[in-house]
Structure 1
Amino acid sequence: MTAYSFDRLVVCDSAAIAQLLIANNFHFENNCAILSITGYPQSIFDITMQMLRRNPDLKVYALHDCNSQGIGLIHNLRTNANWFLNSNIVIIDIGLTPRQIIATKRGIFIQSSPESAQVAKQLPEEVRQSLSAEELAWLESGKFVELESCTPQRIIKVLQKGITGNLNLESDDSSLLLVGDTGNDMYIVQSFG
């Protein structure tokens, strides 16, 4: 079994979202491994990582909350020895990002806390450089959006579109925006050429 490997990995910033995807058979339907940054599911984490690291064509999709920890997920995957330190693996941000939330304007449950503001001010410089001044200000004001505020169906649809190649996420990691419009889901591709 360890000779087998997936070509895709979805890394979630919470075990709850990984559980949601696994419970809905997302991994079977999309032929991908699903793990959380916290090591969920623990019973298969180590063996799954061994299998994935052997695949030079692996693509990793990062699915996270719009908060400082979530925004730092890709940086964590690239700089953590438990993940892909010193690797050329393609890592694609599926979101949520402040850019997406700011562009949406409505239909998203935005929360705020002093703790979130404090963590945002401590983001690594590499992460800060990838954000606009508006995004940094949004995070540093303590605002955040949890993926759990979206319906499971919406999360699954966005992730499916991101990994099935319907969007060119490699060249534009922020191209998929979630827009809530009176209960109807609408997906917008942002493309400037």
Structure 2
Amino acid sequence: MSPRPPSGRAPVDRAPIDRALARAAARAGEPGGIRFTERQLYYELCRVLRPLHAGPRRIPYTLAPPVTYRRFTEALARTGRPPGLLPAPAPAAPVRTAGSDPSDLYDYGFPRLLVCQDRSVARMLIANDLHLEAACPVFAAEDLPLDPRLSAALDRAGDAVIHVLHDASPAGLACYRRVRDAHALPTRSMGLVPRHAGALHLTAGRAPGPLRGTLPEHLTAGLRPAERAWLASGRFSEVSAVNPARLLRAVIRTVRGTTGTRTPVRQHLRGLREAGFMTWPTP
């Protein structure tokens, strides 16, 4: 008599997602060894498994995730951390007071500053030397309020601007509003907004039912009706859903306002400049 087959569900073939994760890690680090976060790796895996992001930009759409975050973390635990994957960021540090830091850094004027809604995104930009390449301090929204000496350095620049990088979500729009309302300096939203997510064909999530509905007018001012409807339906896209190289190009281009002169800091950033800067595409 032949042995009986084991009861229960059939075994799951984990090889395909493990191979896809290896390809995603290689893509996330291109060109030249870019450092990336765990969530950026997850979204790169989504692009590998469902490569519909390469459609024409004139047709805006977002994509549902083809794999859950849980399955991604299980695959990551099996395969190990790939080169370039950053550790989780440290929690926010207390604001330093005058005299606690002997550095003369604050004696200079800063023409721009970048605030990121997501601490892990801020960590990724710093790990890739964007703060040096763009001559722009990078902070997470959790780090606010700014050190008074940094505020004074921005004031000394004369025409300084605070840029805010946030998700295409109600929470992201609210983050921008909080930063803008807390500072007298000109504050600009870098995105994301829904039209960016649609043009880039990003993977988008959907909030639970109770969170859907009409959004406050003060959060959606300046958005198109279709964007408001997209947000009201519960959809959202994270900055982490943008390919790491594309994100670096877009942020550098925006904060500098120009491609500027070539002042390489690391080989992969030099490669990004040679590939050309990119602003967020719009349909």
If the length of structure 1 is used for normalisation, what is the TM-score? 0.71
Change (3 A) 1:46 1:36: farther
Q: What CA distance in whole angstroms lies between the structure 1 residues aligned with 2:209 and 2:158?
A: 39
Alignment of 1:171-186 (within 5 A): none
Does 1:52 pair with 2:154?
A: yes
Consecutive unaligned residues of structure 2, counting only runs of 5 or more, are 1-103, 260-276
Q: CA RMSD in A?
A: 2.9
Please tell me the residue identity of whatever aligns with 1:111. Answer: G
List per-residue Cα deviations over 1:89-140 (Å, max 9, x = no partner).
2222221111222344x3x11111127944x7453x3222322221111011
Contact 2:253/2:279 (<8 A) preserved? no
Alignment of 1:7-156 (within 5 A): 7-39=111-143, 45=147, 47-80=149-182, 84=183, 87=184, 89-104=185-200, 106=201, 108-114=202-208, 117-118=211-212, 121-123=214-216, 125-156=217-248
Change (3 A) 1:13 1:53: farther
Change (3 A) 1:27 1:113: same
List per-residue Cα deviations over 1:140-172 (Å, max 9, x = no partner).
1111111112232221111011122239xxxxx
Q: What CA distance in whole angstroms lies between the structure 1 residues aligned with 2:123 and 2:142?
A: 12
Change (3 A) 1:8 1:114: same
By percentage of residues, which structure has more helix? 2
Consecutive unaligned residues of structure 1, counting only runs of 5 or more, are 168-184
Please tell me the residue identity of whatever aligns with 2:203. Answer: F
Q: What CA distance in whole angstroms lies between the structure 1 residues aligned with 2:210 and 2:122?
A: 22
Change (3 A) 1:74 1:165: same
Contact 1:109/1:149 (<8 A) preserved? yes
Please tell me the residue identity of whatever aligns with 1:155. Answer: L
Q: What CA distance in whole angstroms lies between the structure 1 residues aligned with 2:210 and 2:166?
A: 15
Change (3 A) 1:92 1:136: same
Contact 2:112/2:161 (<8 A) preserved? yes
Higher-Rg structure is 2
Change (3 A) 1:122 1:46: farther
Identity across matched positions, percent: 26
SS of the residue aligned with 1:22? helix
If the length of structure 2 is used for normalisation, what is the TM-score? 0.50
- Give 1:175's aligned residue: none
Larger RCO (CA within 8 A; separation ≥ 6):
2
Q: What CA distance in whole angstroms lies between the structure 1 residues aligned with 2:190 and 2:168?
A: 11
By percentage of residues, which structure has more strand? 1
Contact 1:7/1:58 (<8 A) preserved? yes
Q: What CA distance in whole angstroms lies between the structure 1 residues aligned with 2:135 and 2:210?
A: 35
